[in-house]
Amino acid sequence: MEKQTVPCPVIRDLIPLCHDEVASAESRKLVERHIAGCGECRREYEESGAAVPPAAAAPQIQGEQGLIRRIRRRSYQMLGLFLVVGAVLGALITFDSNVFYNFLLMPVLGAAGYFLCRPHLYIPPVFVAAATLVCGGTATVVASESFYGFLSYAIYAGLYAMLTLLGVLIGFLLRYAFSRAG
């Protein structure tokens, strides 16, 4: 066995840190070089339960970043689905007795749209107005063959777009408040 530059007790102190993946990259390399030449420390390292060499712990971070990306992508998909379903539902209950729920629903859709479409903040109000015109206006024109029903939906589409813009402003203020607090 060749002479080691770092004493075995120092390496034995670093082994649990490498096993828990909290040691620095330099410490991991030091332990890896040492256990390559020291059988006692290698045996203690293997008994500590570490299955991979300390230097191979870095790829786990890439796996965690991939998991975070998948979670973020899934949350954006759910937020988009919420935006679509909410806009269609809001359009369909416009001339129902539950129309006043839209005064709560549209700002919530706007805030959700703020977090979903942050660089393009015009998308949620335009989408809600278009959904109102397409879903409600088309159904009214087909059912009653009256153009006045479509005009009333156009008025509601403008109102819903303004309520959605209010929600976008609420989303901005929430993000601003939480970024200042943390």
- Predicted TM-score (pTM) above 0.85: no
Query: Looking at the predicted structure, is the pLDDT value of residue 99 above 60?
Result: yes
Region 93-114: mean pLDDT is: 85
> Residue 55: which pLDDT band, with cuts at 50, 70 and 90?
very low
Percent of the chain at pLDDT > 70 equals: 84
Region 168-172: mean pLDDT is: 92
Q: How much is the pLDDT for 58?
A: 47
Of 1-15, 104-118, 157-171, which range is least confident?
Answer: 1-15
Provide the greatest CA pair distance for the chain: 95
Region 34-54: mean pLDDT is: 74
Q: Which residue has the higher pLDDT, 169 or 150?
A: 169
Q: Which tokens sit at 170?
A: 């609420």
SS (H, E, C) 82-123: HHHHHHHHHHHCCCCCCHHHHHHHHHHHHHHHHHHCCCCCCH
Question: Residue 78: which residues within 8 A CB-CB, separation 6 or more?
Answer: none
Region 81-87: mean pLDDT is: 86
- C-alpha 28/C-alpha 156 separation (Å) is 64
Query: Looking at the predicted structure, is the pLDDT value of residue 52 above 60?
Result: no
> Residue 57: which pLDDT band, with cuts at 50, 70 and 90?
very low
